[in-house]
A = this chain, B = another copy of it.
Amino acid sequence: MTSIKDIALKANVSIATVSRALNGSANVTPHTRARILQLAKELDYHPNAMARSLVQKSSRIFGYIVSGIKKGAKHTIVQDSLMGVYDYARSIGYEILMFVVDSDKQNKKSYLDFAREHSLAGVIMQGLRTDDAYYKDIIDSQIPCVLIDLPADCERVGSVSIDNYAAARTVMRHLVEKGHRHIAYLSGMDEAAVSTTRFQGYLSILKEKSIEQRADYILHGNFSEEDAYAALRGFLPGHPELSALFCASDLMALGAIKAARELGVRIPEQLAIVGFDDILLASFADPPLTTVRQDFSRMGYEAAKMLYKIIKGQATPHSKNIPYEFVVRQSG
């Protein structure tokens, strides 16, 4: 492992000069710089990230913190957003350190400790909920951070998502235009900002179109296929008038479809179902799912980009909406 010292020795200069030459500092003769760069290449020099981070008190590493990912996940959301983050990070010479918030809380180590121990330059959070202990920590912390799918207000904290309100309104307008008047909302969880925001969009269209808002039309699926299935199994038999269901996620829509099928409710003839996310399975569902496509990779990319600007103190809006797409298939 050749170090800056070895180069300095061979080049007959001080380590300070080598450091300056390598880092592109202005005050070094073109001739000296060339010699040092040449030597660095010859000796296969690579800077020691630890040493640099130690003195600079900050590494060139982003933390990628993901919450609520279980073993056999039925979507590639995490993978996609991670790749997006990675793409941008690498373009600026940064690396990604993983941190998974276990659901079973065995992982007591807080995100802050994690970030501090590794002198992370900043952190990107995916899948966090408002009731997560980590969410509070952010407020107090000094660590730059960008949240995906969660609103932010603080100085060093940014936020990236699609315009969930508008997207939900698009879905609802579509359903109303198709003639539906009895539309239920299958909520994810109240602690997830995306779920409540989509719900607001749902409500706003009901109001605009003067459709009665019924409290019993708010179902809860906990963002889970099984819970959605159970909810619909319980709800559908008593509500033959229901003609459309707007689900806060595709996974829940799949559970709903399963329940409907078992109860002999035909989709979309008797019940139109719309999902959200456009996960891979959406187009393979039977019938293929009408849904809102989110580009998670793009989200990750934009999140990393924003994080970098925050770190560098560059001016940037702390909240960004990226484009989405309403995909009409056969389910509703």
Which residues of A are interface residues toward B (Cβ below 8 A)?
1, 46-51, 53-54, 59, 61, 64, 69, 71-76, 78-80, 82-83, 86, 90, 95-100, 107, 113-114, 116-119, 280-281, 284-285, 297
Contact = CB atoms under 8 A, between A and B. Distances in A.
Contact of A117 (B49, B75, B83, B118): B49
22 contacts: A46-B113, A46-B116, A48-B117, A49-B117, A50-B53, A50-B54, A50-B119, A69-B79, A71-B80, A75-B76, A76-B76, A83-B100, A90-B100, A90-B107, A95-B118, A96-B98, A97-B97, A98-B98, A280-B280, A281-B281, A284-B284, A284-B285
B73 A119 contact: no
A132 to B, nearest CB: 18
A46 B108 CA distance: 14
Given A76-B76, A117-B48, A280-B280, A69 B83 contact: yes
- Number of copies of this chain that the complex holds: 2
Contacts of A47: 117
A51 B54 contact: yes
Contacts of A71: 80, 83, 297
Contact of A79 (B54, B78, B284): B78
A227 B297 CA distance: 24
A50 B53 CA distance: 7
A97 B96 contact: yes
Contacts of A48: 54, 117, 119
B280 A74 contact: yes
Q: Among A75, A79, A82, A100, which residue has the most Cβ atoms of chain B within 10 A?
A: A79
A97 B95 contact: yes
B50 A116 contact: no
A277 to B, nearest CB: 13
A285 B284 CA distance: 7
Contacts of A297: 71-72
